[in-house]
Structure 1
């Protein structure tokens, strides 16, 4: 763990998960087994968060991290994780994390600081396992080669006395799962069957499983629709077109 990732704080509460008490610290430190560069004091395995851990203390620093003037302290995950496990930080290739420069050895050895008193010291650890409950969403653009234009020829159109309403519903079988959303920006067009311009409106909305219809409640007045020179209604037939401009899919 890099230094900028370490948060140091003072607390009067003892560690909740592991306490390693070392009596006659100097004697243990001078034992042959601890004189090698790789040596560390290790606690008995302890369990928390559904996993098993071990606390390790390098009294002369972790030489593999090129540290010789600080105590190095680590927590190691004992359990074997599957290669596809996704625990934060700890995984099957990296099962040890800690602080290579935990405390200067000179500071630790000075009894005035209270860490090593009468050749006795105490180390501890608290491990909090955060379950990965984050909701991950991905916003993407659907395939570019999908159909972006749809045309309907409506024959024997029935007239009403209200302005013409035009909506574009999302097919319930489109596979949009609950919680997912589809943003669509498109033009609703009433084709001019003569030589005039088409009548169109830009529509946009986030579609979902519960909100699957979008359009215009006052797309075109009846008077404009019936006015023959407009060219929208010819031989009692309408031609409606939907042209999709943009689509964004938001999904789990």
Structure 2
């Protein structure tokens, strides 16, 4: 067996009395990896429509919520600000879709949806409709999404349109739940 000069050099301390001791340190590290499970909902991907009739619409001053509705096993609500949300200047109505009780979700749980929200033109055929183009992932910190500038108040109250008839307005949500992400333990 060939041993290098450096290894055999007594001043290096590798060989003592023509003997060498080798050692190995072994560390076992417990894996704390994070995994996620993406579940497509093939049977649930059809869209679900929820219609919300809001009476005495012109008298609304504060945020109003629709009744709960269930899609993909989850409860949802619509949230409407009659004169915009806090980030706007009072010139628009704001409408949002809210995943009810999402604040109780595990930090890795997410619900992927596509949706549109419409205000019905009750006598015409031109509803005001906005749609999420790529969808939205609802989660504990992001339980609500929609449009702060959904429709200008001037257009909503325009007498040539029929968004408000008999002081009633109709809002419709068309929602599809596409995927659920849950954490692996």
TM-score w.r.t. length of structure 2: 0.61
1:166 equivalent in alignment to 2:95 = yes
Alpha carbons 1:196, 1:231 under 8 Å: kept:
no
Any conservation in 2 of the 1:140–1:250 contact (CA below 8 Å)? yes
What pairs up with 1:1-252 in 2 under 5 angstroms? 111-112=1-2, 125-142=24-41, 144-145=43-44, 148-158=48-58, 160=83, 162-172=91-101, 176-203=105-132, 204-245=135-176, 247-252=178-183
Shift of 1:143: 5.8
**Deviation of residue 125 (structure 1)?**
5.0
Task: List per-residue Cα deviations over 1:114-162 (Å, max 9, x = no partner).
Answer: 8xxxxx8877654332212101112232463376322211111135563
Are the aligned partners of 1:181 and 1:206 in contact in 2 as well (CA < 8 Å)?
Answer: yes
Q: Which has the higher contact order (CA 8 A, sep 6+)?
A: 2
SS of alignment partner, residue 114 of structure 2: strand
| SS of structure 2 residue aligned to 1:229 | coil
Distance 1:143 1:153 in 2: 31
What's the RMSD between the two structures over aligned residues?
3.2
| SS of residue in 2 equivalent to 1:158 | helix
Secondary structure of the 2:155 match is: helix
User: What secondary structure, in the 3-state scheme, does the structure 1 residue paired with 2:35 have?
Assistant: coil
Give the conservation status (yes or no) of the 8 Å contact 2:49–2:175: yes
CA contact (8 A) 2:99 2:138 kept: yes
Structure 2: distance between partners of 1:220 and 1:227: 11
Question: How many positions carry a matched residue from both structures?
Answer: 141
Instruction: Summarize deviations over 1:54-105 as a string: whole Å, max 9, x none.
Output: xxxxxxxxxxxxxxxxxxxxxxxxxxxxxxxxxxxxxxxxxxxxxxxxxxxx
Unaligned runs of 5+ in 1: 1-110, 115-119
- Structure 2 gaps of 5+ residues are 5-18, 60-82, 84-89
